[in-house]
């Protein structure tokens, strides 16, 4: 689960910073696939995975800056440009990776701490991963600190909330947004490189398979708060691994669906304990009832099975269910989203 969630943590954290600056970049999928192919090529040719991650971050940042130039300087539509960026990245990555299919990259070494990594149970749970996993977690903490406890972070949030007021105070809105866009691209590129170098140590065309879109959904799920990004990434990463294990073990899908709904219900309860929304508790009750119904059906039909193609839909269906549940309270969603998100800024306005 941790390994499956790490690309989502990296890409979602970068996109969160971008959206906090008031920019909506839908090109996360394209930047991730470019990071995947560039990082793979560099790691194979150099024999050093670290070089692959670094160059993948640079490739993602460069692709993101193309988006930034088009949207912030030429004032193109952010939604259309982001979609075009995804299509461009998918096509270019397929072209670049044609001759690298079937090649194994050099192994990314795990973080091995003497005496600690070999500790029973906890050693495997907490200290058996590669350095990128811990880097991603540290990055979330650094972004939280930057946004909430530093002056540049406050300025970035101000730009995202009201770019006209920030410009009137003398802040360079376009420069700040371009920096945020480049950071988001670098994070997405590293997330893509993690896919091709660690999670699936191989290159195949279209290997991101919609992970970039799930990363976008996690930002909304997290209510634009860095700490919740980890929870969202672990939830969707867990669902991804769960459906793979279901296919391998040929388990009863009704029972698994009930478990997934129960997990989503627990997450919704955690959110509503803070918001105390009446509509939220209604949604919690509805999801809980569905979970109980699924479990009752699983007991009634213990041999019920589904084709693997349907099971592969599970992470995306879970994304839809969670987003619908979260966005039901439109007032709260509007209050959490940056006020200038997606709006065009021009200094002459």
Residue 332 pLDDT: 52
Report residue 56's pLDDT band, with 50, 70 and 90 as the boundaries.
very high
How do residues 71-95 score in pLDDT, each as one tens digit? 999 999 999 999 999 999 999 999 9
Q: What are phi and psi of 110, to 5 degrees?
A: -85, 160
In the chain, the percentage of residues whose pLDDT exceeds 90 is 43
* pLDDT of amino acid 40: 95
DSSP letter for 297, please.
H
How confident is the model over 116-127, as a mean pLDDT?
59
Residue with tokens 């050099």: 106
Q: How confident is the model at residue 304, as a pLDDT?
A: 62
| SS3 assignment, position 345 | coil
- d(CA 177, CA 163) in angstroms, rounded, equals 10
The rounded distance, in Å, linking the Cα atoms of 127 and 231 is 19
Confidence at residue 241, expressed as pLDDT on a 0 to 100 scale: 72
**What is the average per-residue pLDDT within 44-59?**
94
pLDDT, greater one: 280 or 183 = 183
Res. 305: pLDDT tops 70: no
- Provide CB contacts within 8 A for 37, sequence distance 6+: 93, 96, 97, 100, 192, 196, 203
Asked if 267 and 322 touch (Cβ cutoff 8 Å), the reply is yes
d(CA 31, CA 15): 11
What pLDDT score does 227 carry? 86
Instruction: Note the pLDDT tens digit of each residue in 209-265.
Output: 888 888 988 898 888 888 888 888 888 877 777 666 666 655 566 676 777 778 777
- DSSP codes, 104-129: PPPPPPB---TTTTTSTTHHHHHS-S
pLDDT tops 70 at residue 35: yes
Q: Is the pLDDT of residue 68 over 90?
A: yes
Q: Over 70: is that where the pLDDT of 12 sits?
A: yes
pLDDT of 154-188, one tens digit each?
999 999 999 999 999 889 999 999 999 999 999 99
**148 or 239, which is more confident:** 148
| Average pLDDT of the chain, as a whole number | 83
Read off the pLDDT of each residue in 292-311 and give the average, rounded to a whole number. 70
**Region 308-315: what's the mean pLDDT?**
64
Q: How many CB atoms lie within 10 A of CB 138?
A: 10
Would you state the pLDDT for residue 285? 84
Structure token digits, residue 45: 């040719």
């Amino acid at each position: 689960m941790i390994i499956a969630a790490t690309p989502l943590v990296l890409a979602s954290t970068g996109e969160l910073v971008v959206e906090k600056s008031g920019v909506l970049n839908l090109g996360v999928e394209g930047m991730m696939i470019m990071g995947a192919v560039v990082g793979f090529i560099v790691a194979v040719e150099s024999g050093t995975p670290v070089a692959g991650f670094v160059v993948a971050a640079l490739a993602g940042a460069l692709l993101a800056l193309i988006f930034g130039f088009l949207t912030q300087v030429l004032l193109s539509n952010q939604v259309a440009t982001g979609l075009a960026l995804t299509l461009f990245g998918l096509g270019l990555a397929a072209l670049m990776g044609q001759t690298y299919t079937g090649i194994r990259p050099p192994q990314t070494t795990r973080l091995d701490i003497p005496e600690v990594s070999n500790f029973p149970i906890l050693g495997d749970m907490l200290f058996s991963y590669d350095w990128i996993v811990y880097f991603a977690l540290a990055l979330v903490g650094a972004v939280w600190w930057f946004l909430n406890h530093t002056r540049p972070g406050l300025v970035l949030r101000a730009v995202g909330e009201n770019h006209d007021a920030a410009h009137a105070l003398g802040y360079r809105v376009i420069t700040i947004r371009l920096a945020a866009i480049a950071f988001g691209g670098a994070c997405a590129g590293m997330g893509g490189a993690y896919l091709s170098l660690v999670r699936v140590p191989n290159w195949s065309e279209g290997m991101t398979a919609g992970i970039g879109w799930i990363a976008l959904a996690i930002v909304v799920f997290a209510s634009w708060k860095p700490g919740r990004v980890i929870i969202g990434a672990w939830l969707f990463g867990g669902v991804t691994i769960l459906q793979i294990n279901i296919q391998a073990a040929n388990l009863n899908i009704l029972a698994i669906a009930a478990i997934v709904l129960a997990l989503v219900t627990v997450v919704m309860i955690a959110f509503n304990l803070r918001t105390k929304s009446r509509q939220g508790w209604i949604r919690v009750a509805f999801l809980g009832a569905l979970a109980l119904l699924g479990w009752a059906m699983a007991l009634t039909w213990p041999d019920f099975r589904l084709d693997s193609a349907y099971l592969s839909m599970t992470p995306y269906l879970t994304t839809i269910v969670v987003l619908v549940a979260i966005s039901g309270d439109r007032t709260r969603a509007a209050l959490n989203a940056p006020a200038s998100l997606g709006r065009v800024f021009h200094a002459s306005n």
